[in-house]
Amino acid sequence: MRRSRFIPLCACAALLLAVSFPAQAQEDLVRPEGWQVRFDNPEASEDDLEMFVAMPPGWHVTSGPAAIYWGPDMEASGEYRMEMEVYLFDPAGRREAFGLFVGGQDLTGDAIEYTYFLLRDGGEFIVKRREGAEAPTIHPWTGHEAILGWADREEEASSVKNVLALEAGAETVRFFVNAAEVAALPRADLGVEGVFGMRVNHALNLHVSRLEIVAPGGEEAEMEEAAMEEDEAEADD
C-alpha cells in the first residue's frame, strides 16, 4: 500500500463550534495554505464562497456553489483506507450533499475525473463519478440507518457528526458510514488512484475535523500498528 504524504490532523477530544463567528474571529481565520477549490459551475468564483478557513482540528466550510476542495500532497494509490470526520450544522431543511472524493485527475482541466461518496440530511448516501462534463451515478441515493441526520443530533447540540470511510481493495471498494458498511462496488468501475479531498454542495455549513489516509481497518488498526512499531523499537533497544 502506498500511503499519502499528507500529514493527518489530530482531532480534539471535544469539538466546540458556533454556527456563526464574530467578525474579529473571522478576520483571524485564514485560507488553508496550498488548498484549491473547483466549482461545478465554471462561471462561479471564490467571491461566491462564504467561508473556507483552517480551523484546527481541520477546516470549516460555509459553501456557496457546489465545489471540490483539496490540499497539497493529498494523493493515494494502491490499496488504502480514507476517512473523513464531518460535522453538519443546521441545514435549514435543505438536503444538499457533502462528503469525500478520491481518484482525482486533471482537477483544474477539462478532462477532470474523480469518484465521490456523499451523504445528505435524512440518512442517505450516493456514489457518483465526475468525467469531464458528465456525472454518472454508480450507486443511487440509498437510505441507511447508520447515517445520522440533523434530527438525530444530541439535545441542544449545534451539529451532528458522521464519519465516512472508503477502503480501496485490490478488487473491491467498500464504503462505510460510522463504521457500518453501506456499499461494496467493483474497483474496476471506480477511479480511485489520484488526488483525494472533500466535496461540498450548495449552501452548507460544515466542519471537517479529519480527512486522511489511515491504516486499513480504521482507527483501531492504526492504533494497533503504532503499538507494534513501538514494541519493535523497544525490542531493537
- Domain-located, residue 17: no
Q: Is the pLDDT of residue 99 over 80?
A: yes
- Whether 87 and 17 have beta carbons less than 8 Å apart is answered as yes
Percent of the chain with pLDDT over 70: 79
Buried b (16+ CB within 10 A) or exposed e, 168-190: beeeebebbbeeeebbeeeeeeb
- Domain-located, residue 15: no
Average pLDDT over residues 83-106: 97
Determine the pLDDT at residue 58: 96
Determine the pLDDT at residue 215: 80
Grouping H, G, I as helix, E, B as strand and the rest as coil, residue 234 is: helix
- Domain-located, residue 41: yes
Average pLDDT over residues 54-73: 96
Angle CA(213)–CA(218)–CA(219) in degrees, nearest 5? 95
Rounded Cα–Cα distance for residues 60 and 205 (Å): 8
- Output the DSSP codes for 214-233: E-TT-HHHHHHHHHHHHHHH
Q: What is the mean pLDDT of the chain?
A: 86
- Domain-located, residue 12: no
- Domain extent for 135: 23-236
- Domain-located, residue 207: yes
Cell of 166: 472508503
**CA-based nearest residue to 206, from 39, 19, 35, 28:** 19
- Domain-located, residue 9: no
Could you tell me the CATH number of the domain that includes residue 223? 2.60.120.560
Number of structural domains, the chain?
A: 1
- Domain-located, residue 3: no
**Residue-wise pLDDT tens digits, 106-141:** 999 999 999 999 999 999 999 999 999 999 999 999
**CA-based nearest residue to 81, from 162, 179, 158, 155:** 179
- Domain-located, residue 104: yes
Determine the pLDDT at residue 14: 34
**Residue-wise pLDDT tens digits, 178-233:** 999 999 999 999 999 999 999 999 999 999 999 999 987 655 444 455 555 565 55
